[in-house]
Amino acid sequence: MSVLREAREWLSQDPDPDTRAELTRLIEEDDLAALEDRFGARLEFGTAGLRGELGAGPNRMNRVTVMRAASGLATVLGPGKHVVIGYDARHKSDVFARDTAAVLTGAGVHASLLPSTLPTPVLAFAVRHLGADAGVAVTASHNPPRDNGYKVYWADGSQIVPPIDREISAAIDAVGRVDQLLIDGPGTLTELGEGIIDDYLAAVKSLPLGEARDLKVAYTPLHGVGAATLTGAFLAAGFASPLVVEEQRDPDPDFPTVPFPNPEEPGAMDLAVALAAKVGADLVLASDPDADRCAVGVPLPGGGCRMLTGDEVGGLLAEHVITHTTGDRMVATTIVSSTLLGRIARAHGVRYGETLTGFKWIIKAGPGLVFGYEEALGYSVGSDAGLPVRDKDGIGAALAVAGIAATAKRAGRTLLDLLDDQARRYGLHATEQLSFRVSDLSLIDGAMARLRAAPPTTLGGRAVSRADDLSRGIGDLPPTDGLRYTLAGDARVVVRPSGTEPKLKCYLEVVVPVAGEVTEARAGAARELDLLKTELTALLDL
């Protein structure tokens, strides 16, 4: 089928006037390059669901793509099952959520729609809380404004893993024209009320937070959907309402004040840091657009702010949760996160799990999981009752961090002092990430192929003592596209393509014993990491 014929076939079933106009213009202009970009490939449905640029065609996020995905999910579930649907404030998110509900109910599935634009953790919580069989979150998390996505959860409240993703993908492939799908019946649609938010807030305020509440927090939702829910959580738990960056308070799908709506990106935290300095805040917090991730910063006495890495926050949260829970417990993180969590677990006599990247794997690390995290600012905090959210939860994590900071403040200390304590106790685990964003994904494939063909023997002046190709599977871990290098002198590098963005990511760690001042150890570790970054940049040539 020619690309023009495919485009006309798509146009004839597309219910969206915006993408119909886009496609009509491209056909009339005979813009074969643009049409080939939209129809020469398709968004692949996997464990991360769907995520991509908005627009017409199978290689874009649009109403046809979403309706096909919903029909595939309905086929795998079967009639009579129950699906909860949530959505953020990105372009078309509400429309995609309504389309999903219409297709599911048309297939005899009962759909429950969250009452408004809400954080993804509320959806993950609602799936298990309501005893549903699956959930759908319409979100592209921290991707650029032009993107949207479609994330699927299973009955346990966690993201899908194989083989369910392959079953849904195969069912999507079998879907015919979407204008021939039965919609709006015989299943039923329930529009949930605000009570589901209250239930979520009750769950997260029961997390181990300590007793101290005296804390001034500067916060930004980065134009996402986190402000109302996070503020409600703080008030429910007895904290003062966070001071919110006004320019970024309200949801805005264009994210006008940041180049990328990701708290890890340079400049994204500038307004929050400025607000903290203005009001004399004790803590800086941010959530990404769907509020499943949490960034943490500590204002400095002389001005400025020290942003904590995901690994640093993970270490603080882990020790806090372990000391506030009892019984047979497990903590878990991923193969690209710091090795610090393993040392903390051993010191406290709790079980430790290491998984592939992604919370869908962390949550399945084993029974008794009370804390999981990934270095990309994702955390799931639990209590003796377990995890209220079986996915990363930026709201619950923000509450727990505030509890730690308030307890430290009462003792005249900050989170930075607690990090120094951990460095003395476990060794300084210094981590950093090096990312290469590309416009041509073949560049990433080429870089990975070169590394496999000629593995480095030294990195950053250290001998490579072991090289693991993660695509072959390591231990009990399933295969994944990545390379891990263990270096002499307690250091490590992991290289892997991002699963959600056009990036190649390198995760660096050096572990430095602290014999004297922690500041000296940090300076030495920074030099080691800089050397690794310089050498990797030249080696990858991206």
Question: Are 418 and 317 spatial neighbours (Cβ–Cβ below 8 Å)?
Answer: no
CA angle 49, 55, 58 (to 5 degrees): 55
Biggest CA–CA distance in the chain, Å, is: 72
Question: Are 250 and 213 spatial neighbours (Cβ–Cβ below 8 Å)?
Answer: no
Question: Are 65 and 97 spatial neighbours (Cβ–Cβ below 8 Å)?
Answer: no
Do strands 428-437 and 110-113 pair parallel, antiparallel, or not at all (unpaired)?
A: unpaired
Looking at residue 187, what DSSP letter applies?
Answer: S
Instruction: Output the six-digit token pair for 497.
Output: 């393509």
Q: 485-490 long-range contacts, Cβ below 8 Å, gap at least 24?
A: 485/455, 485/456, 485/459, 487/459, 487/460, 487/462, 487/463, 488/462, 488/463, 488/464, 489/462, 490/427
Question: Active-site residues: which are they?
Answer: 141
Q: Which of 132, 133, 137 is nearest to 117 (CA)?
A: 137
Radius of gyration of the chain (CA): 23
Q: In 378-512, where do the E strands start and end?
A: 378-381, 428-437, 458-459, 462-469, 483-487, 491-497, 503-512
Q: Which of 373, 408, 399, 420 is nearest to 217 (CA)?
A: 399
In angstroms, rounded to a whole number, what is the distance separating the alpha carbons of residues 493 and 485?
Answer: 5
Question: Are 357 and 375 spatial neighbours (Cβ–Cβ below 8 Å)?
Answer: no
Q: Report DSSP letters for 476-518, one per residue.
A: TSPP-S-EEEEETTTEEEEEEE-SSSSEEEEEEEEEE--SS-H
Residue with tokens 């495919």: 6
Half-sphere exposure of 432 (CA within 13 A, CB side): 15
The helix or strand, by DSSP H or E, that contains position 313, with its residue range, turns out to be helix 310-323
Instruction: Output the six-digit token pair for 514.
Output: 């602290």
Residues in the chain: 542
